[in-house]
Amino acid sequence: MSLQIWTYLIVGATFALYIGIAWTSRVKDTKGFYVAGGGVPPLANGMATAADWMSAASFISMAGMISFMGYAGCMYLMGWTGGYVLLALLLAPYLRKFGKFTVPDFVGDRYYSSAARLVALICAIFVSLTYVAGQMRGVGIVFSRFLEVDVNTGVMIGMVLVFLYAAIGGMKGITWTQVAQYCVLITAFLIPAIAISLKLTGNPIPQVGFGGTILGGADSGKYLLETLNQIGRDLGFAEYTSAFGAGTKPMIDVFAITMCLMVGTAGLPHVIIRFYTVPSVRAARLSAFYAILFIAILYTTAPALGAFSRYTLTNALSETPYSSVPAWFGNWEKTGLLAWVDKNNDGIITYRAGAAFAGKPTYSGETGAHGQRLVTNTPLDNANELYIDNDIMVLATPEISQLPPWVIALVAAGGLAAALSTAAGLLLVIASSISHDLYYRIINRGASEKIRLLVGRVMIGVGVIIAGYFGIHPPGFVAQVVALAFGLASSSFFPIIVLGIFWKRATKEGAISGMISGIGFTMLYIVQTKFMGVSPWFFGISPEGIGTVGMVINFAVTYGVSMITKAPPLAVQEMVESVRIPRGAGAAIDH
């Protein structure tokens, strides 16, 4: 069977599965809609959290980014996993005991203030919207590469699908679909990684093969990482495993970015909300363990895959005449993920450090003397002739390693599962923020169950349309705003939730001024450095890492202002006492 048929078959089967699950777990009340009825077993919640968390970026782009960054890729690996330690130890058990539906609920009640609830609400919506736009784009891109439909058509199909299962099933439907999506995405990630590890190093475990020796070819018997260092030295790249050399990020920046991603992860509302769905505090702690376990499977495989593909790709292409490159080169040239400009007119691919040309390739539509697709980009003044997109490392690996077509189709289904599961989780946060925190808690306290459920479903529809709009018309700054999402989450939610639990004296004035100053500083810095061309002035920390500083400011301001304002009412202090004791959590309650 051809790749096309396999792809339709596997992707179609997974879609049918998701819709089927949503239909069987459709909900009738707000409790089912917001927190899945509160009865999700920890193992299932762990899988759902993992799928919720791992987006198209984790699945498609991360291994490629690491393979080009070498050591510094550790900031994503540690940053996007280490946050779960903070979540499990500092937040999840207590928020579960508190037992309301959303993050703004906690902020509003703990800080006895509608203003605090509103600030938290705006942050939650903003963070989730920026994030979900990127996911919709991801769905469109995967569709266009594997099913050869237009990116916009792909976005549209994704919108309809997510709307169907999120609106019918609510949190309950999303939870069980995410469990299925985790299984699909992890299988799709592991099979090619194991196959390529076996082929390259003879070891079926990528995490071990990563530190092993190369099986055949010119570098037979040498350690893979040592060989990558050698290739780096030969071609003028930084050594793969060495840290903080020339051309890499300085230590303080790697530290700040890692910290910002960790704290941001712990503060992201769509991750926190998952811990409201389990039956008890014990189950919240246990499902945090399952979540990190399931996430770690992908996150420890990704750097191995990155190193394997870096070696395989460099080996196959560097110093190779264009006329004898493998057939897949042409296929991926078509998608714009690979391009070659013959700067010295020798017909041989010269791969060196530096960008071959600025930006992404734009093709003139003509082919050159050696059959390569010509690009209209102006070549930059360096020896490098090869353009390689990050995403190719995961997408093309099965093809480069000559795996059967069903594996390639599976990778497509995996990428879609990763993007759809994250999009659904984010949409639910947006819907619950508006229908529960804004409509029910602030605007209409007398709304009936039926009306609120309807508002929730309508809000999912509105969220899907907005996300789809940004997926089809991506604002030029989509990539930049991801940095903003983590920066905002770490400089807004994390400090005030942690202080709210561990420090009874934290007051509403403290929390509101803390959130505003933390976010204010972070936003200002990101706008200055990303959009206004100001160079990073705070110890050279890049905008991706500035949330760390915003978080420290938030902690300091909340502390300072709390000390000079009146202590919180006794009832609030008693509530803080009670969230520290697991007994009596019951199911998450409406109120």
Partner 1 sequence: MQSYWKRNKTYMLILLAIWATVSYGFGIFFVEQLNAFHLGGFPLGFWFAQQGSIYVFVLIILAYFLLMDRLDKKYDVHE
CB of 432 to partner 1, least distance (A): 26
Per residue, the 3-state secondary structure of 385-448, as one string, reads CEEECCCHHHHCHHHHCCCCHHHHHHHHHHHHHHHHHHHHHHHHHHHHHHHHHHHHHHHCCCCC
Candidates 29-37, 402-410, 411-419, 582-590; binding stretch for partner 1 (CB under 8 A) = 582-590
Q: Is the dihedral of CA 236, 240, 246, 248 positive or negative?
A: positive
CA 225 to chain CA mean position, Å: 27
Binding-site member from 147, 191, 199, 226 for partner 1 (CB under 8 A): 226
Candidates 111-119, 148-156, 476-484, 574-582; binding stretch for partner 1 (CB under 8 A) = 574-582
CB of 583 to partner 1, least distance (A): 5
Binding-site member from 12, 204, 354, 584 for partner 1 (CB under 8 A): 584
Residue 335, C-beta contacts closer than 8 angstroms, at least 6 positions apart: 145
Q: How many helices, marked H, and strands, marked E, lie in the chain?
A: 24, 4
Binding-site member from 123, 129, 224, 467 for partner 1 (CB under 8 A): 224
Measure the CA–CA gap between 376 and 357, rounded to whole angstroms: 10
Q: Is 32 in the site for partner 1 (CB under 8 A)?
A: no
Residues numbered 288-317 forming contacts with partner 1, rule: CB under 8 A: 288-289, 292-293, 296, 299-300, 303
Q: Is 538 in the site for partner 1 (CB under 8 A)?
A: no
Residues numbered 84-123 forming contacts with partner 1, rule: CB under 8 A: 84-85, 88-90, 93
CA angle at 368 for the pair 365 and 372, rounded to the nearest 5°: 80
255 versus 538: smaller Cβ distance to partner 1: 255
- CB-based burial label for 248 (10 Å; 0-12, 13-18, 19+): middle
Q: Is 225 in the site for partner 1 (CB under 8 A)?
A: yes
3 versus 225: smaller Cβ distance to partner 1: 225
27 versus 257: smaller Cβ distance to partner 1: 257
Residue 498, C-beta contacts closer than 8 angstroms, at least 6 positions apart: 90, 91
Binding-site member from 71, 111, 275, 351 for partner 1 (CB under 8 A): 71
Bridge partner residues of 386 (DSSP):
340
Structure tokens at 129: 């919207």
Q: Judge whether 8 and 153 are in contact, CB under 8 Å.
A: no
CB of 542 to partner 1, least distance (A): 15
CB of 236 to partner 1, least distance (A): 20
Residue 344, C-beta contacts closer than 8 angstroms, at least 6 positions apart: 350, 383, 385
155 versus 262: smaller Cβ distance to partner 1: 262
CB of 71 to partner 1, least distance (A): 6
Binding-site member from 27, 51, 63, 77 for partner 1 (CB under 8 A): 77
Residue 463's CB is within 10 A of a number of other CB atoms, namely 26
Q: Is the dihedral of CA 47, 52, 57, 62 positive or negative?
A: negative
Residues numbered 191-220 forming contacts with partner 1, rule: CB under 8 A: 207, 210-213
Expressed in angstroms, the distance from the first to the final Cα of the chain is 56
Residues numbered 233-272 forming contacts with partner 1, rule: CB under 8 A: 241-244, 251, 254-255, 258-259, 262
Q: Judge whether 51 and 18 are in contact, CB under 8 Å.
A: no
Candidates 81-89, 363-371, 405-413, 552-560; binding stretch for partner 1 (CB under 8 A) = 81-89
Size of the chain, expressed as the number of residues it contains: 591
Which phi and psi (to 5°) does residue 205 adopt? -100, 110
Q: What mask of x and - would describe binding to partner 1 in positions 502 to 521, judged by CB under 8 A? A: --------------------
Where does this chain bind partner 1 (CB under 8 A)?
A: 66, 71, 73-74, 77-78, 81-82, 84-85, 88-90, 93, 207, 210-213, 223-226, 241-244, 251, 254-255, 258-259, 262, 280-282, 285-286, 288-289, 292-293, 296, 299-300, 303, 580-585
